[in-house]
Amino acid sequence: MPTPPSPDPHTASATASVWNRVAQTDDFKKLLAVKKAFVIPATIFFVLYYFALPISVGYFPAFVQRKVWGPVNIAYLFALSQFIVAWLIAYFYVRAAREFDARAAAVIKDLGNLEAKGN
Amino acid sequence: MNTTLILFLAFIAITLGITAWASRLSGSSASYFAANRRVSAWQNGVAVAGDYMSAASFLGIAGLIAFFGYDGFMYSVGFLVAYLTVLLVVAEPLRNAGKYTMADVLAYRLHPHPVRAMASLSTITVSTFYMIAQMVGAGALVALLLKGSGISFRVAVSGVGVLMIVYVVFGGMIATTWVQIIKAILLISGTILLSFMVLAHFGFSLGAFFTAVSQVHYHLPDGTEVVKDFLTPGLRYKPPYGALDLLSLGMALIFGTAGLPHILVRFYTVPDAKTARFSVVWAMWLIGIFYILTTFLGWGAATIVGRDFIAKNGGNNMSAPLLANALGGPIFFAFISAIAFATILAVVAGLTISASTSFAHDVWTNIVRRGQEHNPGEERRVARIAAFVVGAISIAIAIVLGPTANVAFLVALAFAVAASANLPVILFSIFWKRFNTAGAVAGLATGLLASIVLIFMGPSIMTVDAPTVAAAARHIIQHAPIFPLENPGILSIPLGFLGAILGTLLSKRDLAGEEKFAELQVRANTGLGAEKAVAH
């Protein structure tokens, strides 16, 4: 990874317009867009999947008590699946975050360019 | 001298050695409050797991599963899934935009004084409630584990309190981190070993294990013997309100964890947001494995030791140690007991440092001193005094309450406050441009008040006890509960969000704050201008 130019945050915040201009760059907008495209659906999914457990356990007891393997019932397997799903989402997030990091590095480069132009 | 005590003393000696080493490194604020921001991903992940897996989880959840089967496991599930909120939403922006406390992020583009004051109040409330619950549990447990060695509840509570003060005052965040790491490794190894022995007891046949779990025998208080399927939900959460209480509990868990101050401060100890991200993943592996294994501990205790025996020998919190005793004899009992003790010590140390950091950084430096230390090292000195005061107050309250006090609701309260007061304002300050100071103060105040009031009107405080219940274990208010749920989350979390939204919309727009939103967004998402690790 190339070393990003390290802008001094204190001189940068003195000219708040630099932050605004970074926020307006295509690279930054794209970074937010790709992040949102992952984080929002992933969050909605895990929240829905999680609450499906207490809802089914609390309101559909006959269904979750159905035995699947010997005495093991749907309730226990559903609860175990929450662990697997949580780990999987974490794995996919870490994979997606590689792109976030690359895009963040591009934004940092943009800021270096903006400052070099005398802003 | 008994083996448990020897193992306790060994743990104390090692951790005090670490504290002595750390005290020589804690010469600056970044080192005292944030371990120089040089903690690695795996170290912080293990430490987050250590901070999180309290005695309430280890002993409490194992006990709940031993007594109520499946319903206890519902806690375990929520405890892990909660980390997705931390991973996806909170950890990285917090690391990028803050310095030492949760309030740093909130104060970023809002008026710092009222926001920091409220956030600090909420932090100290959460930490202190949680700590008192741990201390009362610790005292009762240590006195029970060391039965026969002449150590009383008071001595045990004072001992735990003094040790935690020593770790935090002298060793700061570096010592606290290493205490967490050692404790987490001990706890996970102990849990794996104990689960392995449970399986060995059933001849490594999962079929035999689950068959036993599906027919657990025990006696009801009136003496009738019952056989229950411990894989079936509903032994604890019963109609009419059981289902709602489960939902409410789930909300408090998955939205509360991302607002627990002692977890959030851990993300300031790593060099950057990427390391924070990997540390959450490390924590999720450890926490997930641990909480899946709680069913082996709990169901193992229910089937091998038996609920009747546990009830007569210290109650459900003793399920895991008694299981160890049944499977591995007194030495293994001593080992598991020492782990429980290490767990309590480490968690109270983590709570103390987050409370004292918030007081020193938010209240003293940023409000009283208007953001500037007047003397070098002042912030650290104030934090040390605060740690001492917080520790002393917790010891005193725990001793006054006594070993049989019914304090489990304090943990529920801590999660409810974290979810209802802290999380809404953290989210809005990072993601909602229009959000302003009035919204933050209103959100924190509504969430805090709603949680406390609803808990006090609920069955944890208001219940009419049967005349047979011992005086000390009685509920504080002998009246039928006004609010039917044990956990207030389902109502208090929406109220916290509503308070923050209404506070914002009903007050004037803060154009200067909105102007800084772009800056916060750039910082939170790129790490530009984030606090750097301290070089060698």
CB atoms A31 and B526 under 8 Å: yes
| Partners of residue A31 in chain B, C-beta under 8 Å | 525-526
Q: Cα torsion for B93, B94, B98, B100, to the nearest 10°?
A: -160
* Structure tokens given for B18: 């670490």
Residue B54's identity, in one-letter code, is S
- Residue B112: name the closest of B124, B126, B98, B125 by CA: B98
Pick among B285, B286, B528 to test the A interface (most A CBs inside 10 A): B528
Q: Give Cα B88 distance to the centre of its chain.
A: 20
Residue B322 CB contacts under 8 Å (≥ 6 apart), including other chains = B301, B305, B309, B310, B313, B314, B333
* 3-state per-residue secondary structure call for B258-322: HHCHHHHHHHHHCCCHHHHHHHHHHHHHHHHHHHHHHHHHHHHHHHHHCHHHHHHCCCHHHHHHH
CB atoms B214 and A80 under 8 Å: no
Domains and CATH numbers, chain B: 3-526 (1.20.1730.10)
| Partners of residue A20 in chain B, C-beta under 8 Å | 515, 518-519
Pick among A19, A32, A92, A107 to test the B interface (most B CBs inside 10 A): A19
Residue B104's identity, in one-letter code, is D
Residues 8-67 of A with CB under 8 A from B: 9, 12-13, 16, 19-20, 22-23, 28, 31-32, 35, 39, 42-43, 46-47, 50-51, 53-55, 57-59, 61, 64-65
- Residue B452: name the closest of B473, B426, B483 by CA: B483
The residue of chain B nearest to residue A86, with distances taken between CA atoms, is B81
The ipTM of this complex is 0.91
* Structure tokens given for B337: 């007991």
Cα angle B137, B180, B330; round to 5 = 55
pLDDT by position in tens, chain B (length 536): 577 788 888 888 998 998 888 888 767 888 888 888 889 999 999 999 998 988 777 888 898 999 999 999 999 999 999 999 999 999 999 999 888 888 888 888 888 889 999 999 999 888 888 888 888 777 777 777 777 677 788 888 888 889 888 888 888 888 889 989 999 999 999 999 999 999 999 999 999 999 999 999 999 888 889 999 999 998 888 888 888 999 999 999 999 999 999 999 999 999 999 999 999 999 999 999 999 999 999 999 999 999 999 888 877 888 898 999 999 998 888 888 888 888 888 888 888 888 888 888 888 888 888 877 777 788 888 889 999 998 898 888 888 887 766 666 778 788 999 999 999 999 999 999 999 999 999 999 999 999 999 988 988 888 888 887 777 667 778 888 889 998 999 999 999 999 999 999 999 998 888 888 988 998 899 888 888 888 75
| Partners of residue A72 in chain B, C-beta under 8 Å | 210, 231
The residue of chain A nearest to residue B240, with distances taken between CA atoms, is A58
State the sign of the Cα–Cα–Cα–Cα dihedral B306, B312, B317, B320.
Answer: negative
* Structure tokens given for B24: 């020589």
Pick among B83, B214, B232 to test the A interface (most A CBs inside 10 A): B232
Chains A–B, number of C-beta pairs less than 8 Å apart? 154
pLDDT at A16: 62
- Which member of A13, A20, A46 has the closest CB to residue B81? A46
pLDDT at B296: 95
DSSP characters for B428-449? HHHH-TT--HHHHHHHHHHHHH
Placement of tokens 């009107």 in the chain: B457
Q: Cα–Cα distance between B187 and B208 in angstroms, integer?
A: 26
Residues 71-100 of A with CB under 8 A from B: 71-73, 75-76, 79-80, 82-83, 86-87, 89-90, 93-94, 97, 100
Residue A62 CB contacts under 8 Å (≥ 6 apart), including other chains = none
Q: Cα–Cα distance between B360 and B110 in angstroms, integer?
A: 20
| pTM of the model as a whole | 0.91
Q: Where are the domains of chain A?
A: 22-116
State the smallest CA–CA distance between residue A76 and chain B in angstroms. Answer: 7
Please provide residue A103's backbone torsions phi and psi, each rounded to the nearest 5 degrees: -70, -35
Q: Cα–Cα distance between B261 and B281 in angstroms, integer?
A: 19
| Partners of residue B87 in chain A, C-beta under 8 Å | 90, 93
